[in-house]
Chains A and B, each alone.
Chain A
Amino acid sequence: MMKNKPDEEDYWNSSKFKAFTFDDEDDEFSRLKESKQAVNSIRSLVEEEDDEDEVEKVSWSGEPVGSKTSLSESSVKLYAPELRKPKSESKDYISDWSPEETIHRMQQGKVVSLERFRSLQDKLLLLDFSVRAHDGNIITAYFLIIDLFSFLCSEVLFRELESRQTALRHFIHYLTEIRDHRLLLELLRRDFLKSCLNLPFSPEESAHVQDHYTLLERQIIIEATDRLAEHAGKVEIFQKFPRRASILNMPLITTLYYCCFYHYNEPEGTYSSPLNIRHTFRISEKQYFVTVLAARAKLKAWSDLDALFTSRNWLGFTKKKSPLSFHRVVDILQKNSAPTQVLQEYVGLVDDADLRIGLAQKHKCHDIVINTYRDLKDRQLLLGYRGKVERGSAEERKINDLLDSPVRKRRNYDHHHHYQHVT
């Protein structure tokens, strides 16, 4: 339907772009499986935990697992477990357990020390084991995450995390849940949507529901990551342009705009890459261009726009083309206070001569007007326009030069005056 679709498919399938995957399997099943894990972990927060184990799971503060208060209170007690633990276990306090054993003990509510897991590598290993154990025990992951979080706050190591998709998602989910229940609600909503996928929708409707679900999932991840980054204070763009609102629940195009604003130059494998979003949701080329244009113009990133519109043909020549009229492009640029040089460039690309002149005059793109009048070989218009440019400016000089230069062909009816003037 969209004439560019074949291009998009080629792009999608070509080897030069890496498909983003969780593990190495890029299929619906593994994606849903991961989500299911994440959601199940969250679910444990909401539902009462059954005390089916003979070992009663208690938090560090002694309250039963599952109560929300225990989470917030426990943070302080992570590194001073000896004050809380039952006396009988004190001898187990400092021990040399493997990550696996450590996790196991934590899940049983027993005392552990995380001190030996110092490097990020170790911490991530712990997290991996926790996830693999996947019984959804929030407390385990919580402490690991607090540990990880304080580590990360001192160094921005998001890239490292990205390669561990699962851990990242757990991390984000758990961490931000503590800060904001709204996020949890969105997760639940997303889960509900996911279950809706099984209802008998028509193919088009089910595609829309699937898109809705995918979008929401993505928004949750982006929101959590960005909130963290903003808080950490190390990512420049968030300091310069603080986020005014959460992107949860925003429409797709709004989300795209947000990513074009904050995540434009990311590689295509990330959740927040605009190109990735474009392909995943099959956004039309026109919509994509309009959105990128608006976002980059707002940031005054003119070179990005240049790159966007420029395409190289197989001969290596570049030319500018656009799925939306350059008239519209100029409109959007002008709304974002683009400087005249930038406006001029795009006004010059408007096909229709009358429209071009009109725009050029409106936006004071003198060169274009002058050149157009020159091409039309119309002295009258040139003369008339001289009054509109600044006295002594380069434009005025240019007009004067043109007016003075001898011209072979004349169109105006006063040409014999000119000849009289010259000779």
Chain B
Amino acid sequence: MAAHLSYGRVNLNILREAARKELREFLDKCAGSKAIVWDEYLTGPFGLIAQYSLLKEHEVEKMFTLKSGRLPSADVKNIIFFVRPRLELMDIIAENVFSEDKRHSSVDFHILFVPRRSMLCEQRLKEQGVLSSFINIDEYILDLIPYDGDLLSMEYESAFRECYLENDQTSLYHTAKGLMTLQALYGTIPQIYGKGECARHVANMMLRMKREFAGSQNQILPVFDTLLLLDRNVDLLTPLATQLTYEGLIDEIYGINNGYVKLPPEKFAQKKQGEASKDLPTEPKKLQLNSAEELYAEIRDKNFNAVGAALSKKAKIISAAFEERHNAKTVGEIKQFVSQLPHMQAARSSLANHTSVAELIKDITTSEAFFDNLTVEQEFMTGVDTDKVNTYIEDSISQKDPLIKILRLVCMQSVCNNGLRQKVFDFYKREILQTYGYEHILTLNNLEKAGLLKPQISSRNNYPTIRKTLKLWMEDANEQNPNDISYVYSGYAPLSIRLTQVLARPGWRSIEEVLKMLPGPHFEERQQLPAGLHKKRQQGENRTTLVFFLGGVTYAEIAALRFLSQMEDSGMEYIIATTKLINGTTWIKSLMDRPESQAP
């Protein structure tokens, strides 16, 4: 059982256990000793479901990475391929199978497609002449992976791109399926709200899928009261802004993957007594980041400017706890102290780690470049000079700053101005192509198609109205003791979260006009519950809403939702789900296209 998944209101361990059970069943189907050949992309998400120990229990003796050529030798009865349904991987598998045939080994082959089987892929295997070599071909439906007690992600990187650039709704289908699985385990969700085209599609699919199961009623008492589906393109602004929470900054600067972050090792070197300090570690320091770590759970969602104070407070508490050993006089007291020692040592180690991480982040946030960048972001968010060429952007281009930094800024200006004036648009485009290369025209076209960087069509800019009505900019946001979600961006309240907040209270009817200014339809659906399952709410009991972000969500938005959950009078608890955990950089990257370029 994963400790961090049971903390929340909704026990996501149930989901995890269901996934583990399925995995066990498949492994047992391939009886005997086994080796698993992994599609590298899957090892991360699988790590959240099952560790090697579980696999070992089911006779997995070796694990390899999927590579073309010959399979490494393994004295096992079964070889199982764990792969995504991608054609290029089928070719590699074929190569592997042929290489084993040459060895005249008597190994049994199996494939587990994650998350779904594919006719195309099986056809490809047939063409390669290896399809008949496989005994078991199954699919492992891993749609929603629990990342924390209140967080689920599909880690479907291309979802935004597929939906908004390629008009491909596969990701929405998977989303709907994932939600059906969720309902199977946690009960039918009686109320569905949504905003956006994709949200509408997902809701329609869910309702249709439910009808297909007509006759078999779900008897589980519903855990979720409401589902809110939100298109990413309803709020294009938020992911572009630099996140200012502790976890958000870790992701922006170092990148969090599957709940882990890799950090430069220098600050984490253990200085032991008498040891030569020459042996500096060269491997990056890998830290696991989830709510099982007490300190991390406390500081992850704080604005970074409040983290220092929290760490020093914690340091005092831990020091005091260690000092207690002087007060332990009786054997009983000493015994008690000793029994708590592991916990205290873990706390101290945790403190040391996060102090180092905070130092690393501080180096960046106190730099002039960071400050200048943030200043421009906030100017755009407050509507200052969004109709002119911005000098800082112009200078940054001529200094050849990283292209993604430039793209985030120009997209932000475009979004806050509802498209750039033609002259400004042409200017930025030209400067970018001339400085970074003409091949980036593909990326610029993609950004235009996604609505992130486009010329102004009408001179009507709704953003100031939206900003005023929804109070997106809160001057004097309190970073230390926040009273509003705007603390996550030190003044800017994420639009997506404001919409969520207003839905709970007073409801979307009060912002009809603003909703119309945002892309896509908004709707409400109800799903019938079997008689007797309607919840009788206790006095003061919170309602639970599952907020599903279609196209990605940032850690800062997650922090904002957690803030709403723990607000005294909110009456609401939020569970967050998404197609992918993103930040501005990874998001823009997923929209970039480069033609095959030869390195000179």
A residues in contact (CB < 8 Å) with B: 1, 182, 185-186, 204-205, 208-209, 211-212, 215, 245-253, 281, 283-284, 286-287, 290, 328
B91 CB, nearest partner CB in chain A, Å? 25
Question: For the complex, is B438 an interface residue (Cβ under 8 Å from A)?
Answer: yes
Please report whether the interface of chain A is mostly helix, strand, loop or mixed according to DSSP. Answer: helix
Q: Quick check: A287 and B597 within 8 Å, CB to CB? A: no
Complex CA gap A215/B438 in Å reads 9
> B309 to chain A: which residues have CB within 8 Å?
none
Check A182/B598 contact, CB under 8 A, given A208-B438, A251-B437: yes
Across the interface, name the chain A residue whose C-beta is closest to B432.
A251
Across the interface, name the chain A residue whose C-beta is closest to B595.
A189
> A211 to chain B: which residues have CB within 8 Å?
433, 438
Question: For the complex, is B86 an interface residue (Cβ under 8 Å from A)?
Answer: no
Q: Quick check: B435 and A252 within 8 Å, CB to CB? A: yes
> A286 to chain B: which residues have CB within 8 Å?
394, 398
Q: Which of B394, B395, B434, B598 contacts A249 (CB 8 A)?
A: B598
Q: Quick check: A249 and B431 within 8 Å, CB to CB? A: no
> B441 to chain A: which residues have CB within 8 Å?
205, 208-209, 212
> A252 to chain B: which residues have CB within 8 Å?
433-435, 437-438
Complex CA gap A284/B394 in Å reads 11
Check A290/B398 contact, CB under 8 A, given A1-B426, A204-B426, A249-B597: yes
Complex CA gap A245/B599 in Å reads 10
> B597 to chain A: which residues have CB within 8 Å?
249
Question: For the complex, is B254 an interface residue (Cβ under 8 Å from A)?
Answer: no
11 contacts between A and B (CB under 8 A): A1-B423, A1-B426, A209-B441, A211-B438, A212-B438, A249-B437, A251-B435, A252-B435, A283-B434, A290-B398, A328-B395
Q: Quick check: A249 and B398 within 8 Å, CB to CB? A: no
Question: For the complex, is B600 an interface residue (Cβ under 8 Å from A)?
Answer: yes
Complex CA gap A284/B427 in Å reads 10
Question: For the complex, is B26 an interface residue (Cβ under 8 Å from A)?
Answer: no
> A215 to chain B: which residues have CB within 8 Å?
438
Complex CA gap A196/B439 in Å reads 14
Q: Which of B427, B431, B600 contacts A245 (CB 8 A)?
A: B600
Q: Quick check: B600 and A250 within 8 Å, CB to CB? A: yes
Q: Quick check: A251 and B436 within 8 Å, CB to CB? A: yes
> A284 to chain B: which residues have CB within 8 Å?
431
Q: Quick check: B434 and A253 within 8 Å, CB to CB? A: yes
Q: Which of A186, A287, A328 contacts B431 (CB 8 A)?
A: A287
Q: Quick check: B395 and A1 within 8 Å, CB to CB? A: no
> B429 to chain A: which residues have CB within 8 Å?
204
Q: Quick check: B435 and A247 within 8 Å, CB to CB? A: no
> A253 to chain B: which residues have CB within 8 Å?
398, 400, 434-435
Q: Quick check: A281 and B434 within 8 Å, CB to CB? A: yes
> B431 to chain A: which residues have CB within 8 Å?
284, 287
B406 CB, nearest partner CB in chain A, Å? 13
> A212 to chain B: which residues have CB within 8 Å?
438-439, 441
- Residue interface mask B414-435, A partner, CB < 8 A = 1: 0000000001001101010111
Complex CA gap A242/B482 in Å reads 58
Across the interface, name the chain A residue whose C-beta is closest to B597.
A249
Further contacts, 16 of them, CB under 8 A, given A215-B438, A246-B600:
A185-B598, A186-B598, A204-B426, A204-B429, A208-B433, A209-B441, A212-B439, A212-B441, A249-B600, A251-B434, A251-B435, A251-B436, A252-B434, A252-B438, A283-B434, A290-B398
B165 CB, nearest partner CB in chain A, Å? 17
> A290 to chain B: which residues have CB within 8 Å?
398
With an 8 Å Cβ cutoff, the count of chain B residues facing the other chain is: 21
> A209 to chain B: which residues have CB within 8 Å?
438, 441
A29 CB, nearest partner CB in chain B, Å? 23
> A245 to chain B: which residues have CB within 8 Å?
600
Best-surrounded residue of B434, B435, B436, B598 (most CB of chain A within 10 A): B434
Complex CA gap A211/B441 in Å reads 12
Query: Nearest 8 pairs between A and B by C-beta?
Result: A212-B438, A251-B437, A246-B600, A252-B434, A253-B435, A248-B600, A290-B398, A208-B441
Complex CA gap A212/B400 in Å reads 19
B387 CB, nearest partner CB in chain A, Å? 15
Across the interface, name the chain A residue whose C-beta is closest to B394.
A286
Across the interface, name the chain B residue whose C-beta is closest to A255.
B434
- Residue interface mask B392-415, A partner, CB < 8 A = 1: 001100101000000000000000
Complex CA gap A246/B598 in Å reads 12
Complex CA gap A248/B600 in Å reads 6
> B395 to chain A: which residues have CB within 8 Å?
328
B21 CB, nearest partner CB in chain A, Å? 53
> B400 to chain A: which residues have CB within 8 Å?
253
Q: Quick check: B435 and A1 within 8 Å, CB to CB? A: no
Complex CA gap A248/B597 in Å reads 11
Complex CA gap A281/B438 in Å reads 12
Complex CA gap A156/B435 in Å reads 34
Across the interface, name the chain B residue whose C-beta is closest to A282.
B430
Complex CA gap A328/B597 in Å reads 33
Complex CA gap A246/B599 in Å reads 10
Q: Quick check: A1 and B427 within 8 Å, CB to CB? A: yes
> A250 to chain B: which residues have CB within 8 Å?
437, 600
- Residue interface mask B362-402, A partner, CB < 8 A = 1: 00000000000000000000000000000000110010100
Complex CA gap A412/B172 in Å reads 75
> B436 to chain A: which residues have CB within 8 Å?
251
> A249 to chain B: which residues have CB within 8 Å?
437, 597-598, 600
> A246 to chain B: which residues have CB within 8 Å?
600
Across the interface, name the chain B residue whose C-beta is closest to A213.
B438
> B437 to chain A: which residues have CB within 8 Å?
249-252
Complex CA gap A287/B434 in Å reads 10
Complex CA gap A286/B597 in Å reads 29
Q: Quick check: B398 and A287 within 8 Å, CB to CB? A: yes
> B438 to chain A: which residues have CB within 8 Å?
208-209, 211-212, 215, 251-252
Complex CA gap A290/B434 in Å reads 14
> B426 to chain A: which residues have CB within 8 Å?
1, 204
Complex CA gap A63/B39 in Å reads 49
Complex CA gap A270/B429 in Å reads 28
> B439 to chain A: which residues have CB within 8 Å?
212
- Residue interface mask B104-148, A partner, CB < 8 A = 1: 000000000000000000000000000000000000000000000
B593 CB, nearest partner CB in chain A, Å? 14
Complex CA gap A187/B423 in Å reads 34
A358 CB, nearest partner CB in chain B, Å? 15
> B423 to chain A: which residues have CB within 8 Å?
1
Across the interface, name the chain A residue whose C-beta is closest to B424.
A1
Complex CA gap A119/B31 in Å reads 84
Across the interface, name the chain B residue whose C-beta is closest to A253.
B435
Best-surrounded residue of A185, A209, A253, A328 (most CB of chain B within 10 A): A253
Complex CA gap A253/B598 in Å reads 19
Complex CA gap A211/B426 in Å reads 15
Across the interface, name the chain A residue whose C-beta is closest to B391.
A325
Complex CA gap A185/B599 in Å reads 12
> A287 to chain B: which residues have CB within 8 Å?
398, 431, 434-435
Best-surrounded residue of A182, A209, A287 (most CB of chain B within 10 A): A287
> B433 to chain A: which residues have CB within 8 Å?
208, 211, 251-252
Best-surrounded residue of A246, A248, A249, A328 (most CB of chain B within 10 A): A249
B382 CB, nearest partner CB in chain A, Å? 25
Across the interface, name the chain B residue whose C-beta is closest to A212.
B438
B150 CB, nearest partner CB in chain A, Å? 45
Across the interface, name the chain A residue whose C-beta is closest to B444.
A208
A195 CB, nearest partner CB in chain B, Å? 15
Complex CA gap A215/B435 in Å reads 13
A31 CB, nearest partner CB in chain B, Å? 19
Best-surrounded residue of B398, B426, B598 (most CB of chain A within 10 A): B398
A303 CB, nearest partner CB in chain B, Å? 24
Complex CA gap A250/B395 in Å reads 20
B373 CB, nearest partner CB in chain A, Å? 18
